[in-house]
Structure formats: structure tokens, C-alpha cells
Amino acid sequence: MKRLYLLLAAVFIILMLLPLFLDNYALGIFIMIFFWAYVGQSWNVLTGYTGHISLGHALYLGIGAYATTYLAQTFGLTPWIGMFLGGFIAVAIALFLGFLGFRFGLRGVYFVIMTIAFAEITRLVVSHIEALGSFTGIFLDFNPSFYNFQFRGNIPYYYIALGFVVASLIAVRILEVSKAGRFIVAIREDEEAAQALGVNTFKYNMIAIAISAFMTSLAGAFYANYIFYLHPNSLFGMSMSIELILRPIIGGLGTLFGPVIGSIILTPLSEISRAYFAKGGLEGLHLILYGVVAILVVLFMPKGIIVYVKRLLEPILKLSRDK
């Protein structure tokens, strides 16, 4: 394990120094890699570790973005605080959803459909609230300052996004080795057996969904102040929910580094192909590419790419000997 930490430290130092050598566009791609890795990690906490699939995580992302922006525009509250308030709203909704889902014992597909339904209802309701910009969405004014969470150039965003990823890795690692984390994994492996052995599955499912929603909504605040435009269909829509689950699944579901690896592979692919195909008038082709990649990964490497990365790094890290 020691070598793994050394490697991670080296990668971290390189990433800290990287903005010195890269231009704004390349930094933008790195920001998106970090962003999707972080969001994927947040989703992974729920689905990867408990096994309950959420196809409505766009809900929490949207709530984070909308709450932060609304508080900033109406009350002049700094997003640094607003994002935590948004996080609490997201947690409240997640707990309500979780309460219904876990209390009534909705399993598998039923749970998936319920998460979709929640996200869709929120999307439709937000589309009808005048104060939240209804159908047209909200445009954010650009007032660069630390207080406003808005900056000129990509470098500050780069460090914030990197901070998000590092913090999420540490948080999930702590969760993984904690007692609660062990219980959560036990739920994924066999919920009934875990229950029979005295694990309060309801409680730990609720903990997982709350953490996941909170983390996702923080990313919403970042999204709002990086993209500067909020639209209910793009933030709460199904396609956002699909987009954010692709990376952890491709990287490796229920693993600490899966979402990061998935994002490193998929994000540049999507950013570059999107720019490339849009130029030729072929919008949507990058999404077809996505779909094909996702199907192939599920069919031929259901455990994710992380398995291959591990094998590749084995000679350097000697992970198995440490165990």
C-alpha cells in the first residue's frame, strides 16, 4: 500500500504544478475530468457501495446549482455558504426519497424508476417557478471575485475542482474502511443476509443516500459558477443522470478509483469528439459513441477498466504482496 500512496502523492504534485505548463483550453478539459470524476464518485457512494441504482442523480446536481444561484442572486449570499445550504436541501429530498424507497422495500428496477420519477417531477416543477427562471433558465452575471465563486481564467477553477476530487477520494476512503462503510458493502452483497446478521440496513442505506446527495449537490454549485447558465432540462434531465453514471460504471463500480479512471478515459474523449463532430454538423455523434462504449464495457468487462489498470500497475505497486 505504501507504494500506492507514494504514486498518488507523485500524481498529486504533478497535477498541482500542471497549470504552469498548460493553456486555458487544456485546463478546461482537466477541469471537466475532475468535475465528472467527483460527480461520479458521489453517485458511486450510493450505487457502487449499496447497490441501489439511482438514475435520478441529476436531481441533486440541479438542486445544488439552483439553490446556490438563487441564494446568491436574491440574498447576495456567497456560494461558499450557499452550496452547503443547497446540500442540506438535497439531503432532505434524498432522505425523503430514501425513506419511501427503503421503508417500502422498493428493490431493483422499482427503485430506479422512483429515482427517475423524482428527478422528472422536480424538473417539471422548476420549469414552472418564475423565481427560478422557469423554462428559459437562469443566466448568471459574471462578477469575478473569491466571494462570488467566480474567476477570470481557468486556473482557480482547476484548483477548486482538484480539491473536490482529492477531498472526495479521502472522504470515500474513510467511509470505506469505517464500520458504516463495511455495513454498506454488506448491504450490496446481500441485503437480506446483512439484515439477518443484525445490520440496520435501513439506517445505512439512508446514510449512503444522504452522503451521496450532499456530495452531488456541492458539484452543482461548481457547475453553476463555471458554466454560468442553468436550464431545467439540461440540469434535471435524464441525459444528465445518464452522463454522470457512465464514468463510474466504465471505470469500475464500487471502487475508490473507478470514477476517476472512468473520467480520465471518457471525458477527454467526449470533449474532443464533441468539438470535432459539432464542427462537421454531426451533433449527437459523440453520444452514440458513448452509448457504444458503455454497452461494450458492460458486455466485455463488467468489472470496469480498473481491473486492467490494476494489472498494469501491479509490478510497480506490488499490491497483492502487501495484502
Partner 1 sequence: MGGIYGLIALGLSLIFGVMGVINFAHGQMMVMAMYVSYWIFVLLGIDPYLSLGIVAAVIFVLGYLIQATVVNRILDYPEAMQVLPLVSMGLILENIALLFWGPDHRSPQTALGLETLWLGPVMIDVSRLIAFALAILITILIFIFLKKTNIGKCIRAASDNRTGAILVGINVDRIYNTSFALGAATTAAAGVLLLPLMPISPYLGHDFTLTAFIVVILGGMGNLIGALVGGLILGIAESVSTLFLPATLKHAVSFSILIIIMLFRPQGLFGGKK
The site for partner 1 (CB under 8 A) is made up of 47, 51, 53, 55, 100, 104, 106, 108-110, 112-114, 116-118, 120-121, 124-125, 127-128, 238-239, 242, 245, 249, 253, 282-285, 287-288, 290-292, 294-295, 298-299, 302
77: three-class secondary structure by DSSP? coil
Min separation Cβ 61 and partner 1, Å: 17
Residue 139: DSSP 8-state? E
Q: Closest distance between partner 1 and the C-beta of residue 120, in Å?
A: 5
Q: Which is nearer to partner 1, 16 or 113 (CB)?
A: 113
Which C-beta is closer to partner 1: that of 17 or that of 299? 299
Provide, for the chain, the percentages of residues in helix, strand and coil under a 3-state DSSP scheme, each rounded to the nearest 5.
80, 0, 20
Closer CB to partner 1, 15 or 289, in the complex: 289
**Residues contacting residue 69 through CB under 8 Å, at least 6 positions apart:** 79, 82, 138, 140, 224, 230
Minimum Å gap between C-beta 229 and partner 1 is 18
Beta carbon nearer to partner 1, 16 or 295: 295
Q: Residue 291 Cβ, how far from partner 1 at the closest point, in Å?
A: 4
Residue 24: count other Cβ atoms within 10 Å of its Cβ.
11
Considering the complex, state which of residue 37 and residue 114 has its C-beta at the smaller distance from partner 1: 114
Closest distance between partner 1 and the C-beta of residue 264, in Å?
Answer: 19
Collapsing DSSP states into helix, strand and coil, what is residue 149?
coil
The x, y and z cell numbers of residue 253, run together, are: 463500480
Q: Cα dist. 206→36, 80, 271, 299 in Å?
A: 24, 26, 35, 31
Q: Which amino acid is at 49?
A: Y
Q: Which residues pair with 150 in a beta bridge?
A: 145
What CA–CA distance (Å, rounded) separates 106 from 109?
8
> Which residue number, 15 or 238, has a Cβ lying nearer to partner 1?
238
- Output 283 or 322, the one with its CB closest to partner 1: 283
Nearest distance, CB of residue 254 and partner 1, angstroms: 10
Minimum distance from CB of 121 to partner 1 (Å)? 5
Question: Greatest CA span in the chain, whole angstroms?
Answer: 60
User: HEC string of 176-240?
Assistant: HHCHHHHHHHHHHHCHHHHHHCCCCHHHHHHHHHHHHHHHHHHHHHHHHHHHCEECHHHHHCHHH
